[in-house]
Amino acid sequence: MAVPIKVDLIKKTKRPGYVMKPEYVTIHQTGNTAKGANAAMHNKYVHSVAPNPSWTFTVDDHEAYQHLPLNENGWHAGDGTNGTGNRKSIAIEICVNKDGNLAKAEANAAWLAAKLIKEVNTLKPFPACMKQHYDWSKKNCPAQIRGRKNGWAGFLAAVEANLKPAKAPSAPASNGALYRIQVGAYAVKANAEACLKKAQAAGFKDAFITTTGAPAASTPAPKPAPKPKPAPKPATIKVGSKVRVKQGAKDYSGVQLASFVYARTYSVIQLSGDRVVIGEGKAVTAAVRLKDLTLV
């Protein structure tokens, strides 16, 4: 299962703005049961009320929105300016709108929490990294999860299930049967022997020559490959270019980017020397170095 994550960061001037090395993932539920109170609606809401409150992600039954960078704090835990919840935890709000599927929203949040645990290397080991809003300020949140018998234990079990690698399908039993594959048919034995040597050199130790079956015409020698054309001059990156971030690259300040950043295509918004601001539409994702971008 993978949940679409839409990155729409709050303007920098409206964020709390403290640099953060997250150690925890804090789970909230919005408390808003109104129809339409989904992740998209809460994305608009947090943009209007930030910096207080502000949180990192909102997730519903079909998608998630990211509002803050993973290396900046939000005001969400109710434990004060210097509280561990506010200053050292990534916050996930789960939508509880009555026209949504709450079970699916919670499952999506468990998937997102597991994704963060696997990708953010400053988090404490599971399950110590997982916190409820209640753990920081005694607020009854996430209320719906807490209101069920073994609700929090069940949520942690869902996170743990997402942390386990998917099992590869087992190969069916052959029942002792042998299945043979013919590589080529040659009228000249020397050509067959040359093919056999290549197959054995490639690791097919059980390959052999047989005369069973109808003979086929010998394979003509391959034509020489045409000379490669000179490579075109590389295009230059400019404002408006579509780019991707090279795997493992960090932002302009040297902070590790979230792994999903490398799989997306972005537009160049600003370009100054080797500093490039990239994003989706008008929403800024990060500032990176020019050498860490490739044109799409």
First to last CA, the chain: 27
Same domain, 145 and 31: yes
Q: In this predicted structure, what is the pLDDT of residue 216? A: 45
Helix (H) or strand (E) holding 239: none
Return the CATH number at 15: 3.40.80.10
Domain with 133, as residue range(s), is 5-163
Averaged pLDDT for residues 175-184: 61
Percent of the chain with pLDDT over 70: 88
Decide if 48 contacts 73 (C-beta within 8 A): no
- Judge whether residue 215 has pLDDT over 50: no
Q: 114 phi and psi, to 5 degrees?
A: -65, -40
Out of 119, 139, 163, a domain closes at 163
User: What is the greatest pairwise CA distance in the chain?
Assistant: 84
On whether both 290 and 158 belong to a single domain, the answer is no
Does 281 lie in the same domain as 138? Answer: no
Tell me the average pLDDT across 89-98.
Answer: 98
Structural domain contains residue 31: yes
The mean pLDDT of 56-69, rounded to a whole number, is: 98
Point out the domain boundary residue: 163, 186, 219. Answer: 163
Q: Are 277 and 269 in contact (CB under 8 A)?
A: yes
> In this structure, are 159 and 246 located in the same domain?
no
Q: Which of 136, 163, 190 is the last residue of a domain?
A: 163
In contact, 146 and 41? CB cutoff 8 Å: no
Identify the H or E element spanning 202. Answer: none
Quick one: tokens of 5? 């994550």
CA distances from 63 to 10, 39, 43, 104, 106 (A): 18, 7, 12, 10, 11
Confidence of residue 214 (pLDDT cuts 50, 70, 90): very low
**Total domains present in the chain:** 2
| In a shared domain, residues 24 and 153 | yes
In a domain, 94, yes or no: yes
Backbone angles phi, psi at 70, to 5 degrees: -70, -15
More confident: 281 or 128: 128
User: pLDDT averaged over the chain?
Assistant: 88
Question: 143-169, pLDDT tens digit by residue?
Answer: 999 999 999 999 999 999 999 987 766
Same domain (yes/no): 135, 253: no
pLDDT score for 217? 47
- 23 plus 133 within the same structural domain: yes
